[in-house]
Amino acid sequence: MNWRIPLSDIDFDEAESLAVQGVLKSRWLTMGKVTQEFEVAFAAHVQAKHAIAVTNATAALHLACLALGLGPGDEVIVPSLTFVATANAVRYVGATPVFADVVSQDDLNISPKAIESLVTSRTRAIIVVHYAGYPCDMEAILSIARQHNLFVIEDAAHAVGSELDGRPLGTWGDVGCFSFFSNKNMTTGEGGMMTTDNDDLAHKLNRLRSHGMTSLTWDRHKGHAYSYDVVDLGYNYRIDEIRAAIGLVQLSKVELNNERRRSLTQVYRDALQELAPQVAVPFQNHVGKTSAHIMPILLPSETRRKEFIDSMKENGIQTSIHYPPIHTFTAYKDAMVWDLPVTEDVAKREITLPLYPAMSNDDVVVVVSAIQASLNLS
């Protein structure tokens, strides 16, 4: 389908192509100096002590759970209004996801109050998701974590470049997990990053990423080591030099692109005021600096969403949904009955509008007019 206005679009130019060609010409394709450079640059960017690159954010979340020692019998509190990978990671290590509601129709992030009410003697960790890059209430969440001795993992897949109190998201908890999937604010096709300030954790994450081995191919190549031991049941979750090279270029663009996303978000907010109160725009009162990863709105409860999406499509405008809540998926059906009234309400009404740096202010006006027209239909 050829969209007049797609949901998202990547910002690639000659620089990414040249970076990839450079790696191909070097004939060293994985775990080399480009990956190290990417990790150092990313760590500096988000002000983390360590950054460790992996194949994707799902792998990052998996290794974060493993490195923190989560396992069978442990409960991990997660939002249901997120991508399924957030909760899958908990299950990969045999632990149990416990779903917490979001704050409100305006704040689609995990609710500290809900977290507090779900803590049991088995709770070991909380995974927060900064929805669309808007910061969770980290102060309240860290305070609960300290009180009950819980780890905090940040699913920062949306949040590269986001900040709270001047401090980048992904560095508030024990481990931050970033995604470079093709629709994220910076992309390597598939790719991810783990960040931490804890030296021991960094060491573990690094080892788990590469089969639990004590030395890496790169070190052996450089003559630093000739053999190795395997001390953990690790995985092959390594990124390659080709993706790392793309990542370096993308990282250099992300702040300017985020600025453009924030500016477009403001244009949307202003234009959508004309459709209030029927159409609600979440995160009106957000604090901190957002990466403006996506543009969510809430339709009136009586609107038939499928017909709305089809009508937008007829206007050449691609939309999406963030998210079908995890606790409603077949793979998550169990004996538990979750009490998530806000999640269930917003998940039925949410629509994600197009948002990407190359979008024009006029495109926003076109989208908002199409919303107006489409709502009259239903």
Ligand X SMILES: *Cc1c(COP(=O)(O)O)cnc(C)c1O
The catalytic residues are 184
Decide whether 62 or 124 has the Cβ nearer to ligand X. 62
How near is the Cβ of 301 to ligand X at its closest, in Å?
25
Exposed, middle or buried, 118 (CB in 10 Å: 0-12/13-18/19+)? middle
| Comparison of 88 and 369: residue with beta carbon closer to ligand X | 88
Quote helix, strand, coil % in the chain, to nearest 5.
40, 15, 40
CB nearer to ligand X: pick between 129 and 202: 129
Q: Which of 172, 178, 131 is nearest to 156 (CA)?
A: 178
Burial of 203 (0-12, 13-18, 19+ CB in 10 A): middle
Cα distance from N-terminal residue to C-terminal residue, the chain: 24
Which DSSP letter does residue 326 get?
G
We find the least distance from the C-beta atom of residue 288 to ligand X, in angstroms, to be 17
> Between the CA of residue 377 and those of 41, 219, 323, what are the distances in Å?
49, 63, 24
Beta carbon nearer to ligand X, 340 or 370: 340
Rounded to the nearest whole angstrom, what is the least distance from the CB of residue 14 to ligand X in the complex? 25
CA–CA separation, 96 vs 116, rounded Å?
17
Task: Report the residue number, 19 or 57, with the smaller CB distance to ligand X.
Answer: 57
| Two tokens, residue 80 | 């249901």
Q: Please report, as a single letter, which amino acid is at residue 361.
A: N
Q: Which is nearer to ligand X, 54 or 371 (CB)?
A: 54
Under 8 Å CB-to-CB from 236, ≥6 apart: which residues?
Answer: 209, 210, 211
Q: How far is the CB of 187 from ligand X (least distance, A)?
A: 9
CA angle 170, 146, 285 (to 5 degrees): 50
> Which residues contact ligand X (rule: CB under 6 A)?
56-58, 82-83, 85-86, 129, 155, 157-158, 179, 181, 192
Minimum distance from CB of 181 to ligand X (Å)?
4
Report in angstroms how near the CB of residue 182 gets to ligand X at its nearest.
9
